[in-house]
Amino acid sequence: MGTGTQVHPLRKTQRKLKHNSCSGYFQNTNLCLNGCLTVNILSLSSATTGNLTMTPTPITRWALPGAPKDVEVYIKRDDLTGCSLTGTKIRKLEFIIADAIQKGCKHIITCGTSESNHCRATAAACAELGLKSHLFLESYLDDVSKVKYDGNLFINRLCGANIYLVPRPRGYKDYIKPRMQMLADKIERETGEKSKLVSTGGSDEIGLWGFIQCFDEIRRQGIEFDDVVVTCATGGTVAGLTIANYLAGQPYKCHGILVCADSKFMHNEINENMQSLGITGVRSEDLVTMYEDYKGPAYCENYPYQLEYIVRTAHETGILLDNAYTGKAAYGFSQLLQNKPEVFKGRRILFLYSGGLISLQTQAMAEALLPLESKSTIMMFPEKL
């Protein structure tokens, strides 16, 4: 078993981190690197929103199906950040919504797919804080009457979100963002109220701080790891953790398992975030290893063996993986452990579990999983046994 990289010696740095989305700089930002990364961003104080997340989330051993016996696998249970706010997305939203409130915004406009965990967390957080949420959801449907309101989409409506369907797939910058701005302009003309536009997945240089804070949380929980593995979709999670790990002296080796996009996109996201924070002389390609062989046939689509792995993991460990994100990433992680023993043998590895329970609660997922072999049975109890 690996003992983990030696904790970086005590190093304190005071710096102003340039932030394009806020006026000027993050003031009084103190990076105290002594194995932990302490971040105090007074301009985005948690006092603005209170504590939306129930943190710290626990870290436990995980008997990951298919994992060799010569590695120790742990799981950080970010599915336990809250009920309607379950998952990692709320970590970003704590900072994003705090910024919006401080700027006087009454509306949050964001986007994702119809299965988006980020959009569901946005709707729930806005309901809790008295803001109005507007969600642009990519869909293959061209008729609203055909929409099935289950899973995350059901929660969105339950929390009072305004939902706008747009054709799928469409690009964020060229198609969706201009329409989000059109809506923001309309709201301001009619009500005088300001809106904040939030990018796909909340992956921007404000949301980034949610995972810098998450890194600090992991270090403070006191378990030494050699590696950290995360699911990669829009890039915000891997960017925050990779940057925090670098600033703390790289105690971990970082790995990102892609469920959409590609390695070039992910590295570009991280490099742009580092540039915006004034970090120079290093590139993402040197800080994190990306794996893109486990994305399945398409976003939110799966090969049968990926669905079988979701069922197996639930049966054997009680961890509920979803088909869009964590199911693909956990399956890919298990394959990496088997196929790259020279990389992981004898190491202690943390898998950041980003949630997925609500995404499982759809008719489409039920129909996909029903034909699979299951240890569960259902029957009427007979009068005689």
CATH domain 11-87+205-369 topology: Rossmann fold (3.40.50)
Least confident interval from 92-101, 122-131, 197-206, 364-373: 364-373
Catalytic residues: 116
What's at 150, amino acid-wise?
D
Cα separation, 252 vs 228, in Å, equals: 6
pLDDT at 354 over 80: yes
CATH number of 90-202: 3.40.50.1100
Bridge partner residues of 132 (DSSP): 107
Q: What is the pLDDT of residues 65-120, one digit of tens each?
A: 999 999 999 999 999 998 677 889 999 999 999 999 989 999 999 999 888 899 99
Cα separation, 282 vs 247, in Å, equals: 11
Evaluate whether 257 touches 294 at the Cβ level (below 8 Å): yes
Note the Cα 169 to chain centre separation in Å: 21
Nearest to 87 by CA among 231, 209, 290: 231
What's at 379, amino acid-wise?
M
Q: Is 342 exposed, middle or buried (0-12, 13-18, 19+ CB in 10 A)?
A: exposed
Cα separation, 55 vs 383, in Å, equals: 48
**Does this chain's domain 11-87+205-369 share its CATH topology with 90-202?**
yes
Q: What is the pLDDT of residues 276-314, one digit of tens each?
A: 888 999 999 999 999 999 999 988 888 989 999 998 999
Sign of CA dihedral 248, 250, 251, 252: positive
68 cis-preceded (ω within 30 degrees of 0): no
* pLDDT interval class at 50 (50, 70, 90): low
Cα separation, 123 vs 102, in Å, equals: 19
169 cis-preceded (ω within 30 degrees of 0): yes
Domain boundaries, the chain: 11-87+205-369, 90-202
Evaluate whether 89 touches 118 at the Cβ level (below 8 Å): yes
Q: What is the pLDDT of residues 227-273, one digit of tens each?
A: 999 999 999 999 999 999 999 999 999 999 999 989 999 999 999 99
pTM here is 0.85
- According to DSSP, residue 298 is labeled B
